[in-house]
Amino acid sequence: MEDLVRLARTMMIRAYAPYSKFHVGAAVRDEEGGIHGGCNVENAAYPQGLCAEAAAIAALVAAGRRRVLECAVIGPGPEVITPCGGCRQKLREFGAEDMKVHLCGPDGLHCTVTLGSLLPMSFGPLHVA
C-alpha cells in the first residue's frame, strides 16, 4: 500500500489546478500488481477538467489493464477527501465492491474504506452483461 500512497502523493504534486488550487493525486493497483497514477487537470472551460482517479484509470487502461484491485487518493488536507460520485462510478467499472480505497492526506494514510461503502447498491458491469 505504501507504493500506492507514494505515487498518489507524487501525482498530487504534479496536478494542474490553477483555478481551484486544490491538488489531488490518485494511484490504482492493477490485476498484475502494476500501479498507475493520475492527477487532477483543470481547464479554463471549468468544469471540463479531469479528476485524479479518472486519470489513474485512463493510465491503467492505456497500459492494457482492466481491473483495479485497490486505490489510493490524496488531497492537500487537512480534511480527508473521497472520490467524487462520478469517480466512484468509474472505479466501480473496473473494481469490485470490496475493493479497498485508501484515503490519504499529505501526512499519509487516514483511513481505508471499501468501494461498496462509498457507492452502496452500485450499478456495475454485470448489470448490463
Give residue for cell 480534511: 79
The catalytic site residues sit at: 53
Three-class secondary structure of residue 121 per DSSP: coil
* Residue in 6, 8, 63 with CA at minimum distance from that of residue 30: 63
Q: Which residue stretches of the chain are H helix? A: 2-14, 52-62, 85-94, 115-118
Rounded Cα–Cα distance for residues 8 and 25 (Å)? 5
* Residue in 62, 68, 66 with CA at minimum distance from that of residue 88: 68
